[in-house]
Structure 1
Amino acid sequence: MSLGTQIAWDDTVLPFQLDASDIRGRVARLDGVLEQVLRQHDYPPMIEGLVAEMALLTALIGQTVKLRWKLSLQVRGSGPARLIATDYYGPSKDGQPARIRAYASYDPETLDQTADPFSQLGNGYFAILIDQGEGMTPYQGITPIAGGSLSSCAETYFAQSEQLPTRFSLTYGQSQLPGEKTHWRAGGVMLQHMPKASPSVAGEGGSGEDGLLDATDILTEDEGENWIRANTLLDTVEEIELIGPTVAPTDLLVRLFHEEQPRVFDAQPITFGCTCSEDKVKQSLSIYSAKEIGTMVTEQGTVTADCQFCGAHYVFDPDVLGFEAKSTDA
């Protein structure tokens, strides 16, 4: 494979369908996008890993939703890793890339660098939020943190909240090609049973952790056989095939699922992108009075704000902020 072909598959999501199994899926590769997300911050390695996994999940899930604007993933926990948050902005026009941004909040004093990263989340919840833009009611779905990974949380969410059997196989880490610097790469496959008009749930509760629904709880016998077969095939994937860059996603699908009749659709390019701006910061502060704005003033006589996602730093004259602003000029 040529270098040009390698680059063509980086930072893309490739949708596919297994016609013999009534299963759809996505193959994602993140390279420069993930590097840009993580270099905005100086995270410890375990936090970087959690952010990388969340960003990859966001790319895979975001491409399955016909978005007019934004999909957000959040996991909030009681442990040292308090919050992992990501946003996926769908393309406004055909041919344009989708945009991803991500950040984490954590307590460096209590973070156990020797522990399993997922254990540092503690108890809490995993949430998916869909905002279709002005005039549309936002959607929010929440499930408890469950399983041993963020991928497991997402699988539980889809089974519990959407009644959609879903499986993720992901890998991520620092990679190095000959003659290049070490940088982050991630790759993964998402499988999802095609939605049914009226999904049925067998019995009360589910077979997952703490009685949560599992994929097998919402499938008929015939559907279950197809689902198990596709998952068994996915279990044979190797990390190097997921993370690339020497195996094209199309070749990977043929190797894994050739008997399931895979059919691919147009790939979606992904880029890093943040929507913060000076105007948006001013708008967020417009609810405060002049007196309240005065409590935010620094020793230099200004009000400052930093974007948690991209690190952009904004500096304002306090007179232009709040609903009692003296001037509209920055």
Structure 2
Amino acid sequence: MTSLTKIAWDDTVLPFQLDRSDIRGRVARLDGLLDRILTQHRYPFVVEALVAEAALLTALIGQTIKLRWKLSLQIRGDGPVRIIATDYYAPDTRGDTAQIRAWASYDTDRVDPGGPGFTQIGSGYFAILVDQGAGTVPYQGITPLSGGSLSACAETYFAQSEQLPTRFALSFGRSRTPGEDESWRAGGVMLQHMPKASGPIARDGGSGEGGLLAAEDILDGTEGENWSRANLLLDTVEEIELIGPQIAPTDLLVRLFHEETPRVFDAQSVQFGCSCSADKVRQSLSIYSAKDIGHMTTNEGIVTADCQFCGAHYEFDPDTLGFEAEKSEDDNG
């Protein structure tokens, strides 16, 4: 039974709605996807855990965007962990698999392997970017790092930037099932109140850290009671229920929210995927002059580039790079 559940639900995001509470949500389980992201790098465990949390948040949030759109999380700070970046590529066609990638930059000499992860990001910001494709201007929302975890930052982001009460319950770590090697697993639940018909709330400040908005600043009356009740139910979830694989997400929703009338929709499968290519590297270098390209050329007479997300290695003839090379190619017809 465990193996069947694992096959059915690993690397999936299941959207649902609590009809009684006017709350929507997602349940995510990550297994092979997360292992693929992390085994490509040799991050210290504390950095791996931050990347795992960011990837899980990306899966939960990304499922809300439209087909062919791209959603990115960017976390930047002045601490030993400088950058955590993730991308979610929505599928081109409904029912196809979405793709996720993630990467981190950190100062090896400053990271405390045994210390808490979030504090090692330091002061900075949490951002969500949504790219709707060619011919559009990407949307970007930014909030300061706060709350003690990346999931708390995401909750603050939605309250502050979107004025949508949001709650995450996440669990992630290395685990071992009988007869298998140790691997990363992650699971989580996201709750989000449906947008209010009355529109945005004008406030000078909220009750959150640094005066940022929190859920209690947005909802009141019956909506506030519904939100509080759903959160109390989510508080009863156990880590093993989030990660699985013994408990299917559908069973978890019934266990947690059967009184809220949960209704599930089609699950979204996710896998590791990277959009890098030689053509995209050439395009990124097209803004440089031949002199600039010369400074990038190695002693072996080539220009190299490595993808930070997937580790792909590219090598180029410097004469074919830069805007001067492109102009020469056009002139030669």
TM range, normalised to the smaller chain? over 0.9
Q: CA, structure 1 residues 202+321, in 2 after alignment: closer, same or farther (shift >3 Å)?
A: closer
Aligned residue identity for 2:62: G
Specify the alignment match of 1:279 in structure 2.
279
Shift in Å, 1:203 = 5.5
1:107 corresponds to 2:107:
yes
Encode CA deviations 1:236-276: one digit per residue, 9 max, x unaligned: 00000000000000000000000000000000000100000
1:262-318 deviation per Cα after TM superposition (whole angstroms, max 9, x unaligned): 000000000100000000001111111111111111011100000000000000111
SS of 1:93's equivalent in the other structure is coil
The alignment's C-alpha RMSD in Å is 1.2
What is the 5 A alignment of 1:113-192?
Answer: 113-192=113-192
In structure 1, the partner of 2:306 is: 306
Deviation at 1:223, TM superposition (A): 0.7
Contact 1:14 1:266 in 2 (8 A): yes
AA partner of residue 299 (structure 1): N
Q: Is 1:295 aligned with 2:295?
A: yes
Mapped contact 1:319–1:327 kept (Cα < 8 A) = no
Cα distance in structure 2, aligned partners of 1:203 and 1:320: 55
Percentage of identical aligned residues: 73
Q: Which 5+ residue runs of structure 2 have no aligned equivalent?
A: none
- In structure 2, C-alpha distance between the alignment counterparts of 1:38 and 1:79, rounded to whole Å: 21
Partners in 1 of 2:19 and 2:316 — Cα distance? 56
Aligned counterparts of 1:200 and 1:139: Cα–Cα separation in 2: 18
Deviates more, 1:193-202 or 1:268-277: 193-202
Q: 1:294 is paired with a residue of what secondary structure? A: helix
Residue 49 of structure 2 is matched in structure 1 by 49
Find out whether 1:16 has 2:16 as its counterpart: yes
3-state DSSP class of the match of 1:210? helix
Q: Tell me whether 1:251 sits opposite 2:251 in the alignment.
A: yes
Preserved CA contact (<8 Å) 1:199 1:218? no
- Please tell me the residue identity of whatever aligns with 1:242: L
Q: Deviations over 1:199-221 (max 9, x none)?
A: 45485310100110000100021
For each residue in 1:147-189, what CA deviation from the matched residue of structure 2 results, as whole angstroms up to 9, or x when unmatched?
0100000000000000000000000000111110000000000
Report the number of matched residues: 328
CA distance in 1, matches of 2:284, 2:88: 21
Match of 2:39 in 1: 39
* Amino acid aligned to 2:148: G
Give the residue type in structure 1 aligned to 2:21: S
Q: Aligned to 1:34, what secondary structure does the other structure show?
A: helix
Alignment of 1:42-121 (within 5 A): 42-121=42-121
- One-letter identity of the residue aligned with 1:197: A
Partner Cα separation in structure 1 for residue 319 and residue 53 of structure 2: 42
Residues 277, 203 of structure 1: alpha-carbon distance in 2 compared, 3 angstrom cutoff: closer
Alpha-carbon distance in structure 2 between the residues aligned to 1:273 and 1:295? 31
> Structure 2 length as normaliser, TM-score?
0.96
Q: TM-score, length-normalised on structure 1?
A: 0.97
Per-residue deviation at 1:12? Answer: 0.2
- Measure the CA separation in 2 of the matches of 1:316 and 1:235: 54
| CA distance in structure 2 between the aligned counterparts of 1:75 and 1:202, rounded to whole angstroms | 27
Structure 1 residue ranges, 4+ long, deviating more than 6 angstroms after superposition: none
Uncovered stretches (5+) of structure 1, i.e. residues with no partner:
none
Q: Is the contact made by 2:67 and 2:94 (CA closer than 8 Å) also made in structure 1?
A: no
- Provide the residue aligned with 1:323 in structure 2: 323
Q: Distance in 2 between matches of 1:170 and 1:136?
A: 33
